[in-house]
Amino acid sequence: MTTTTEDAWDRAKSQFPQGTIIEGYVTKALDTLVCISIPGTEFVGVVVITSLSDKPPPLSSSDFPAVGDSVRAVVIGHRDIGYQIALSLRESDFTRLAGT
């Protein structure tokens, strides 16, 4: 990793701290996660399957947003390995972290 990447990652973590609500677009949907493009950063947002819904498993395909869908998510953390912004679509996380 270059210093430039480290600096950009540090800025992204500051710009999108835990509890920040973001709006982005789904760029990839897999069986276990959804990748979201976040405006204002080059880093990807990732929603793992356990953060997609408050519904108990198993989830159906209708619980997964499709590629190209606009989504509203809340930042639940940052993964320094892979430079990922961890996101959640669960209403309980919006309430707990963002107070909405």
For residues 100 and 94, is the Cβ–Cβ distance under 8 A? yes
Domains of the chain, first to last: 3-98 (2.40.50.140)
pLDDT (tens, 9 = 90+) of the chain, 100 residues, equals 456 989 999 999 999 999 999 999 999 999 889 999 999 999 999 999 999 999 887 877 788 899 999 999 999 999 999 999 999 999 999 999 978 6
Residue type, position 86, single letter = A
100, HSE (Cβ side, Cα atoms, 13 Å):
12
